[in-house]
């Protein structure tokens, strides 16, 4: 994580409304993963604050760094946000940026978590019990089985495109289902013990 240019953030004092600061923060968050901020965003910011193109770019990069750091450290109150800033930073601007970050922190954090690279995600499931009526082995006839259909969202491969959903069907005998449920019960217990410790 690169250092934040706090001097560039002081350019926000030229904003004529608080709504403009909120808009800039949201705009920067939307482009947080882009290698370069879109030229239209830089130009619009320069025009609305009456600053140069270079100053606008420095401001937007500083805002992006601030938001990333706040999300990274899990800043969830005024004190944790204030700790990111130098002690000599403009008090009113710190307060405004702190409010904006706190108001958006939950939304931004969940967006980051949901869009990180991960394994395919279970979206939904359905099940039914079937009885086999035909088989090449007489002992496997009239045996109930569970058909489990899992809807899985694959890992995203493109930035601005929702990943596809795929269905996976699994056939489980009673014994296999018992083993799976026992394993899932152990997983639930472990997750509960980890959650209660934190």
pLDDT of residue 195: 82
Of 31, 197, 14, 196, nearest in space to 111 by CA = 31
pLDDT of residue 34: 75
Whole-structure pTM value: 0.59
pLDDT of residue 164: 80
pLDDT of residue 186: 94
Q: How far apart are CA 144 and CA 4, in angstroms?
A: 62
pLDDT of residue 57: 92
Average confidence (pLDDT) per 10 residues, the chain, 198 residues: 83 89 89 82 90 92 90 82 88 90 84 73 90 69 86 73 83 91 94 83
Of 143, 125, 126, nearest in space to 135 by CA = 143
């Amino acid at each position: 994580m690169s250092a934040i240019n706090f001097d560039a953030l002081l350019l926000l004092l030229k904003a004529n409304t608080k709504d403009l600061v909120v808009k800039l923060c949201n705009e920067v968050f939307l482009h947080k993963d882009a290698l370069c901020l879109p030229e239209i965003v830089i130009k619009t910011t320069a025009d609305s604050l009456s600053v140069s193109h270079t100053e606008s770019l420095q401001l937007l990069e500083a805002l992006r760094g601030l938001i990333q750091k706040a999300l990274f450290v899990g800043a969830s109150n005024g004190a944790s946000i204030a700790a990111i800033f130098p002690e000599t930073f403009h008090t009113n601007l710190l307060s405004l940026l702190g409010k904006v970050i706190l108001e958006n922190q939950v939304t931004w954090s969940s967006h980051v978590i949901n869009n990180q690279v991960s394994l395919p995600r279970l979206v939904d499931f359905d099940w039914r019990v079937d009885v086999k009526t035909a088989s090449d082995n007489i002992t496997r006839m009239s045996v109930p089985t569970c058909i489990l259909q899992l809807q899985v969202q694959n890992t995203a491969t493109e930035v601005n495109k929702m990943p596809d959903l795929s269905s996976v069907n699994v056939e489980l005998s009673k014994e296999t289902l018992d083993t799976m449920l026992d394993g899932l019960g152990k997983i639930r217990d472990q997750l509960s013990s980890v959650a209660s410790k934190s």
